[in-house]
């Protein structure tokens, strides 16, 4: 059974200032997403499931269908504000969906096989998909995978970023993921704010999560249970979010699952700010010059 690639594409990129998932970065108009799909195909993935918002459906489906038809099967799921457990309702004033954990849940009816989760607007590199495919082939239902990157390789010189900093034990098993925000260089040193809002110094060698995960299909059941608990605790708040790393962190800390942290040596490329676009295009161009990718990508 080939694994599925679950692509989180519902976000509109508020800091970037547009729908960055569809921003051309390749010389023939390719998106970052195209390179992710290409790499997943090379690693043996057999289906792509996209999580989008309902209002994006027409434009997104037209673009995806024309690009991937005959290449790999695709399915679209919708992250909806009112996709809630029984007994819960959308609180007054709530306008945004409930975060990345909720986005993954949107695909629960479409995926019955091992699956990877990625962001549509992050370039992870082929090594990430090969590592996930290798983990799936090990067929360990109690062990999931987090592909992590060195913090210093994931920064933007155009502004601050938020990153989940991973702590692992001596066996490479995840202990916790701590969300840090406003990470950037300040007067020659790297600083950010920890989950308590305190300013902390960072070395840049920390391994961070960029939402590149590998799960078995049974993960949906435990994620649904956690979402119900989240709604009971924070469901009346207008801006609370059910984050995927927080959900995994909880399960790992409770010893419900084991998560192997795999440090990825591939180049990570992402667009947080509009000014990152030039850097991304240059990085993609170099990979094409190095013959990592053909151009055009899709013939």
Q: Which residue has the tokens 């933007």?
A: 156
Of 134, 149, 152, 144, residue with least CA distance to 204 = 152
The pLDDT value recorded for residue 272 is 66
pLDDT for the residue 65: 65
Q: Give the pLDDT confidence score for residue 19 in this predicted structure.
A: 57
Q: Which residues contact 197 (CB under 8 A, 6 or more apart)?
A: none
> Which tens digit of pLDDT belongs to each residue from 175-202?
888 889 999 988 889 999 998 999 999 9
> Of 124, 121, 82, which is closest to residue 105 (Cα–Cα)?
82
**Superfamily name with CATH number, domain 4-289:** Spore Coat Polysaccharide Biosynthesis Protein SpsA; Chain A (3.90.550.10)
213 token code pair: 């995960």
In order along its 299 residues, the chain shows pLDDT tens digits of: 899 999 998 764 444 444 556 778 889 989 888 999 999 999 999 999 999 888 878 877 777 767 888 899 999 999 988 889 998 998 888 888 899 999 999 999 999 999 999 998 889 999 999 999 999 887 665 579 999 999 988 887 778 888 989 999 988 899 888 889 999 988 889 999 998 999 999 999 999 998 899 999 999 999 999 999 999 999 888 888 998 988 888 888 777 788 999 998 777 887 766 777 888 899 999 999 999 999 999 87
**Domain ranges in the chain?**
4-289
pLDDT in tens, 77-104: 999 888 899 989 988 888 888 999 999 9
Instruction: Note the pLDDT of residue 44.
Output: 95
Q: Which residues of 243-252 are buried (b: 16+ CB within 10 A; e: fewer)?
A: bbbbbbbbbb
Q: What is the pLDDT of residue 213?
A: 95
Q: Given this model, what pLDDT does residue 15 score?
A: 42
The pLDDT of residue 111: 96
Q: Is 197 left (phi over 0), alpha (psi -120 to 50) or beta?
A: left
């Amino acid at each position: 059974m080939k694994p599925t690639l679950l692509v989180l594409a519902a976000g509109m990129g508020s800091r970037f200032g547009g729908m960055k998932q569809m921003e051309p970065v390749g010389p023939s108009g390719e998106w970052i997403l195209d390179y992710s799909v290409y790499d997943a195909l090379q690693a043996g993935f057999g289906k792509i499931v996209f999580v989008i918002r309902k209002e994006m459906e027409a434009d997104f489906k037209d673009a995806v269908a024309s690009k991937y038809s005959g290449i790999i099967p695709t399915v679209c799921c919708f992250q909806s504000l009112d996709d809630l457990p029984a007994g819960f309702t959308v609180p007054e004033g709530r306008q945004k969906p409930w975060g990345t954990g909720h986005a993954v849940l949107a695909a629960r009816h479409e995926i019955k096989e091992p699956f990877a989760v990625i962001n549509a607007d992050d370039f992870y590199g082929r090594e990430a998909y090969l590592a996930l495919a290798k983990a799936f082939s090990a067929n360990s239902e109690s062990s999931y995978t987090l592909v992590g990157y060195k913090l210093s390789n994931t920064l933007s010189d155009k502004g601050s970023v938020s990153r989940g900093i991973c702590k692992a034990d001596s066996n490479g098993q995840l202990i916790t993921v701590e969300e840090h925000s406003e990470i950037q260089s300040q007067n020659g040193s790297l600083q950010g704010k920890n989950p308590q809002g305190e300013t902390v110094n960072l070395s840049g060698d920390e391994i961070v999560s960029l939402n590149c995960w590998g799960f078995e299909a049974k993960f949906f059941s435990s994620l649904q249970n956690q979402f119900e608990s989240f709604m009971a605790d924070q469901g009346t708040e207008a801006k609370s979010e059910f984050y995927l790393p927080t959900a995994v962190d909880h399960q790992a800390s409770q010893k419900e699952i084991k998560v192997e942290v795999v440090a990825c040596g591939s180049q990570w490329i992402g667009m947080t700010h509009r000014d990152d676009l030039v850097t991304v295009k240059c990085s993609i161009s170099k990979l094409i010059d190095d013959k990592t990718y053909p151009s055009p990508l899709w013939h």
